[in-house]
């Protein structure tokens, strides 16, 4: 769920006020630098440092790709969809979660689906009587949460990622795998700008056609290193 507008305005106002007291301002993405310049901050006080999460991904990427992950799922590169789901907006609503499970059943008619299930999501699947249906659809590919390196491997080798995770929206900018965000908005607009992320919400009538649009090859993004630059 998006933050209430009043909260965002108050928080934004406090950040603007606080930024005037610092000698150096470190930005995590180019749009932050542009916002600071519009606020009247001096260019020589702004340093674009990128995001630590992306630095860590780049550092561990080759190690992650060497792990024998696909064999565990009997999956082939580029022939599966990776799903992560945990936001209350998607999993705490029985009707919405049911619709997502049904959408995954339609996706599975075209591609394999690998779904490491967040504990919150698993609890809701049980509570809403959907776990057995999900198990019937996905079987061994409905798994407990994976380690970060395993998830990076699956992310890099898949055809598309369906997620409501902000972090995964950013991480998919690096391997150039298409990310379909199952939310109506994103707090990571730079992922849309570079071309790796489509924000489609979670309605089945959107999810299935968008998955079908994805080619089997990696996509070209306008900034393949995403947020990773130093000043």
Q: Report the Cα 203 to chain-centroid distance in Å.
A: 17
CA–CA separation, 2 vs 102, rounded Å? 25
Q: For tokens 């008619």, what's the residue? A: 109
Q: Report the Cα 127 to chain-centroid distance in Å.
A: 25
Q: For tokens 């649009």, what's the residue? A: 213
| CA angle (61 as vertex; 87, 79 as ends), nearest 5 | 65
The token pair at 216 is 């089997």
Q: Are 2 and 15 in contact (CB under 8 A)?
A: no
Which among 172, 163, 112, 164 has a CA at the least distance from the CA of 137?
112
Residue 95: Cβ-neighbour burial (10 angstroms; 0-12, 13-18, 19+): exposed
CA–CA separation, 50 vs 5, rounded Å? 27
Give the DSSP H or E segment for 47: strand 46-48
Q: So which residues are the catalytic ones?
A: 86
Contacts (Cβ under 8 Å, ≥6 apart) of 181 = 163, 164, 169, 197, 198, 199, 200
């Amino acid at each position: 769920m998006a933050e209430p507008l009043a909260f965002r305005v108050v928080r934004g106002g406090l950040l603007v006020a606080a930024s005037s007291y610092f000698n150096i301002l470190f930005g995590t993405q180019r749009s932050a630098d542009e916002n600071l310049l519009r606020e009247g901050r001096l260019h020589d006080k702004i340093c674009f440092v990128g995001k630590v999460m992306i630095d860590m991904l780049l550092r561990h990427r080759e190690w992650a790709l060497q792990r024998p992950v696909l064999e565990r799922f009997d999956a082939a590169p580029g022939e599966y969809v990776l799903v992560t789901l945990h936001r209350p907006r998607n999993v705490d609503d029985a009707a919405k979660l049911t619709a997502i499970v049904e959408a995954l059943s339609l996706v599975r008619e075209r591609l394999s689906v690998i779904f490491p299930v967040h504990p919150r999501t698993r609890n809701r699947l049980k509570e809403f009587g959907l776990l057995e249906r999900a198990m019937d659809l996905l079987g061994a590919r409905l798994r407990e949460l994976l380690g970060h390196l395993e998830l990076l491997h699956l992310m890099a080798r898949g055809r598309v990622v369906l997620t409501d995770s902000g972090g995964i929206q950013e991480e998919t900018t690096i391997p150039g795998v298409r990310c379909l965000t199952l939310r109506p908005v994103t707090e990571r607009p730079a992922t849309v700008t570079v071309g790796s992320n489509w924000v489609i919400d979670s309605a089945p009538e959107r999810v299935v056609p968008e998955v079908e649009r994805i080619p089997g090859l990696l996509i070209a993004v306008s900034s393949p290193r995403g947020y990773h630059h130093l000043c």
